[in-house]
Amino acid sequence: TPPDSDSPTIFDKIIKKEIPSTVVYEDDKFQWKFFIHTRTRAACLFLYFLESRLFLHVNMPTVQKIFKCVLAFRDIQPQGPTHILVIPKVRDGLTGLSKAEERHIDILGRLLYTAKLVAKQEGLDDGYRVVINDGPKGCQSVYHIHVHVIGGRQMNWPPG
C-alpha cells in the first residue's frame, strides 16, 4: 500500500546525492511556486535578483538547489538500452500522479518536457515510451512521482 505523503523515499537520497546515480539532466529553471510555498515574497525577489546578477559568475550549490527543480537519472534496473527516470526535486505531496492538484500543473508539464529533452539527448529519434506507474495496480514501487523514459528497442503495445 502507498505510504503517507510525508514518508521519504529512495529518491530523496538520490536527490541529496546520498545514493549515487547517473544524472543525465538537471534543469536550471527558477520555480516561483515552490519557493513561494516556503519563503516570503521579499526573499524570493532578493534571490531572483541574485540569480540574475551573480549566478553567471558565482557557483552557489545550496542556493542553486532552489532554482533546479527537475532531475533525470538512469534507472538501476533498465527495461531497455535507455531507461531514464525524471523526477521533481521537491515532491510537494506528489507521491504519484493520482495525487496531482492544480498547483502541480507547472511541474507536471516540466516533467513531460524534460522527458522529451532527455529522449532527444539519448538519440531516441525513432521513438520511445513514456510511462507513469500509479498505485499498486499500476505497479508503482517508489512513491515520489516519476516519469519513465524507455527506448533503444522496439516497444510493444498493449504493455500487459
Beta bridge partners of 86: 72, 147
Q: Give the H or E element holding residue 26.
A: strand 23-26
The residue among 64 and 79 lying less far from ligand 5GP, judged by its C-beta, is 79
Nearer to ligand 5GP, 66 or 134 (CB): 134
Contact 49, 106 (CB under 8 A): no
Is 83 considered catalytic here?
no
Indicate the DSSP class of residue 98.
Answer: G
**Which residues sit opposite 158 in a β-bridge?**
none
142 part of the interface to ligand 5GP, by CB under 6 A: yes
Q: Interacting stretch for ligand 5GP, rule CB under 6 A, among 46-54, 55-63, 99-107, 136-144? A: 136-144
Query: Considering only 30-38, 42-50, 114-122, 137-145, which stretch makes contact with ligand 5GP by CB under 6 A?
Result: 137-145
Among 10, 50, 117, 155, binds ligand 5GP (CB under 6 A): 10
Instruction: Tell me how far apart the terminal alpha carbons of the chain are, to the nearest angstrom.
Output: 21
Strand duo 23-26 + 70-74: pairing: antiparallel
Q: Would residue 92 be called left, alpha or beta, if left means φ above 0 and alpha means ψ between -120 and 50 degrees?
A: left
Q: Which is nearer to ligand 5GP, 58 or 76 (CB)?
A: 76
Give the residue carrying C-alpha cell 532552489. 66
Rule CB under 6 A: which of 29-68 touch ligand 5GP? Answer: none
If binding is defined by CB under 6 A, does position 141 make contact with ligand 5GP? yes
Residues that bind ligand 5GP (CB under 6 A): 10, 14, 19, 21, 73-77, 85, 133, 139-142
**Catalytic positions, written as ranges:** 146
